[in-house]
A = this chain, B = another copy of it.
Amino acid sequence: MDRRKVKLAYIISNINRRATFRKRKHGLLKKVRELCTLCGIEACAIIYGENDTRADVWPSTTRARSILSRFMSLSKAERRKKMVDLEGFLTQSIAKAEETLKKQRNGNKKEEMGIIISQYIRTGEYNLGHVNENYLNDLSEFIGDNIKKIDMKMKSMEDQAQEEAGNEVEPMNDQDE
């Protein structure tokens, strides 16, 4: 039999509570996923287990951190400087790209591409599902490769900054590609 009057209170029974936790966590993450897809927005969820040792995160740890970073205020001057650089660059980049497209096309697909590229950069990840459109597959792979390059670049950059922290400035060209 099913008797399900949900009284909103802590579930005493360990077994029941854990079972409920598993199920509801699953349902919750599904809801988040759907909301993002249906409405084209960004969202993330962090759910800690009972032991407090690990957390389930959606969409991904990396993405969540990104969103969280955006949510939390940051202050380091160095970071701000980099931020400004990135921001300026990206804004300029998109503006230029838009203008370029404007010349190439009849201003028809301009907006589309602007959004596509920026969303793709912002998201930074995607799932290659079961697609039968060859072109779409190719496009996804292409994007993935480039994302990896950027990722490696950023890590490399951070590693260098870390290793050289506290040391004197020492220009050197040591890049891997």
Chain A residues in contact with chain B, CB under 8 A? 6, 8-11, 17-18, 20-21, 24-25, 27-28, 31-32, 34-35, 37-50, 52, 55, 57, 61-62, 64-72, 74-76, 78-79, 81-98, 100-101, 104-105, 108-131, 133, 135-140, 142-147, 149-151, 153-172, 175
Contact = CB atoms under 8 A, between A and B. Distances in A.
A94 B116 contact: no
Counted per complex, copies of this chain come to 2
Given A43-B47, A78-B168, A120 B136 contact: yes
Nearest to A21: B39
A123 to B, nearest CB: 5
A54 B25 CA distance: 25
A9 B37 contact: yes
A48 B168 CA distance: 32
Which 4 pairs from chain A and chain B are nearest by CB? A69-B88, A124-B129, A114-B115, A118-B119
A118 B101 CA distance: 10
Contact of A32 (B9, B28, B52): B28
A168 B166 contact: yes
A35 B84 CA distance: 24
A46 B43 contact: yes
A140 B126 contact: no
B78 A164 contact: yes
A41 B47 contact: yes
B145 A97 contact: yes
A11 B85 CA distance: 35
